[in-house]
Amino acid sequence: MRTLAALLVFSTAANAQQIYRWTDKKGEAHYTDDVSTVPKGAKLETTEGEELMVVPAPPPSPTVPAPKTIPVPRAPAARAPQTGSIEVRLTKINVAVSDADRAYIEESLRTAAASPRLASWGGLRESIEVEIAPGALMTGYSGSDAFGQAVGTNKMRLRAPKDTVSHGFVLDYPGAALHELAHLLEHQLAGTSRPPWFAEGFACVVADQTRHASIDDIAWWVIHEGGERPLEQLMSGKCPIGLAYAIAKEAVRYLVELVGEAGLKQMFELRAKGQPFDAAFSRVAGFTVQEFEGRFIKSLRPNYYDRAR
């Protein structure tokens, strides 16, 4: 058995709007949403990510030194990982954090990386870079402020522990990190081309996150507000963001009930071979995504009728 280290990261950029990254002559990275402010000749990169949760944006803070890389044991992957160790490298901290918060971040990353829930899906295939970011550039769905983001296949951004209160609830920091790792795992297994409801629902299922919404609340919105294609409406701003995550989790949980975890893994494999999400879904499930939405609505009707009475 090969012992692998797993790597976790925090960062600073946006998702819903286009954010540009450029590097100066000293090798330091800068971010902007206005390309005209980038010096002539500088190499530009665009950033793109997926958010975990909406939180109030904190004020800008000074940069502090990042802690050292933390190796974390991980179960062997079902398929061959990258050559060498899979690591979680905390590459940059762009907000002020106390020594206690830094220790808490490190421990949370270890906990998330070693989660058996992550390993049960095969484990990470490549190392992850992590950056602790201020909230100014962390834009989520419909322009909201996001707590965490997964970018590409090997980058993760999270806010500092002090900024993890959302809608009156304190987010579980290891769970937040695990949510982003679940996004990156799916990116590594199958790519990023899939609907937001599936992306967020899968990450919530892996992290086993409670979204403070009852099955009754979920049924009411899906049937009463969501129309014929409720899952397509979730991240558009028509549904409260906390409830949207709860619905996405319930939808993916219901999909697993229908096709099993093996079915989802088969979908990942088909997508990795180039099949679009809808085609892979239909091939494995035996029905279309639209037909699945109809089944999902029907499965929730008893809860809706309870509330309607």
In this structure, the answer to whether residues 161 and 71 fall within a common structural domain is yes
**Cα–Cα–Cα angle for 181, 187, 190, nearest 5°?**
135
In this structure, the answer to whether residues 45 and 179 fall within a common structural domain is yes
In this structure, the answer to whether residues 146 and 252 fall within a common structural domain is no
Give yes or no for a contact between 142 and 172, defined as CB atoms under 8 angstroms apart: no
Domain residues for the domain of 23 are 4-190
Q: How many CB atoms lie within 10 A of CB 280?
A: 21
User: What's the token pair of residue 215?
Assistant: 């099955």
pLDDT at 229: 93
In this structure, the answer to whether residues 13 and 140 fall within a common structural domain is yes
In this structure, the answer to whether residues 33 and 175 fall within a common structural domain is yes
Asked if residue 208 belongs to a domain, the reply is no
3-state secondary structure the chain: CCCEECCCCCCCCCCCCCEEEEECCCCCEEEECCHHHCCCCCCEEEECCEECCECCCCCCCCCECCCCCECCEECCCCCCCCCCCCCEEEEEECCCCCHHHHHHHHHHHHHHHCCHHHHCCCCCCCCEEEEECCHHHCECHHHCEECEEEECCCEEEECCHHHCEECCEECCHHHHHHHHHHHHHHHHHHCCCCCHHHHHHHHHHHHCCCCCCCHHHHHHHHHHHCCCCHHHHHHHCCCCHHHHHHHHHHHHHHHHHHHHHHHHHHHHHHHHCCCCHHHHHHHHHCCCHHHHHHHHHHHHHHHHHHHHC
* Sites in the chain below the pLDDT cut of 70: 1-22, 25-35, 43-84, 136-145, 163-170, 211, 304-309
Beta bridge partners of 54: 146
In this structure, the answer to whether residues 294 and 184 fall within a common structural domain is no
Sequence-ordered list of residues with C-beta below 8 angstroms from that of 35, at least 6 positions apart, any chain = 20, 44
Q: In this predicted model, what pLDDT tens digit does every residue of 164-178 receive, in sequence order?
A: 655 455 678 888 899
Asked if residue 197 belongs to a domain, the reply is no
Asked if residue 82 belongs to a domain, the reply is yes
Number of independent structural domains in the chain: 2
In this structure, the answer to whether residues 122 and 240 fall within a common structural domain is no
pLDDT at 91: 84
pLDDT at 10: 36
Question: What pTM value is reported for the model?
Answer: 0.73
Residue (of 136, 135, 132, 90) closest to 113 by Cα position: 90
Asked if residue 205 belongs to a domain, the reply is no
Asked if residue 50 belongs to a domain, the reply is yes
pLDDT at 291: 97
Asked if residue 132 belongs to a domain, the reply is yes
pLDDT at 169: 58
Asked if residue 196 belongs to a domain, the reply is no
Residue (of 252, 196, 232) closest to 49 by Cα position: 196
pLDDT at 143: 55
Asked if residue 195 belongs to a domain, the reply is no
Look at the block and give the residue holding tokens 């490549």: 126
In this structure, the answer to whether residues 248 and 144 fall within a common structural domain is no
Q: In this predicted model, what pLDDT tens digit does every residue of 69-120 receive, in sequence order?
A: 444 444 333 445 566 688 878 888 888 888 888 888 888 998 999 999 999 9
pLDDT at 96: 87
In this structure, the answer to whether residues 165 and 268 fall within a common structural domain is no
In this structure, the answer to whether residues 69 and 164 fall within a common structural domain is yes
In this structure, the answer to whether residues 180 and 301 fall within a common structural domain is no
pLDDT at 88: 79
In this structure, the answer to whether residues 136 and 185 fall within a common structural domain is yes
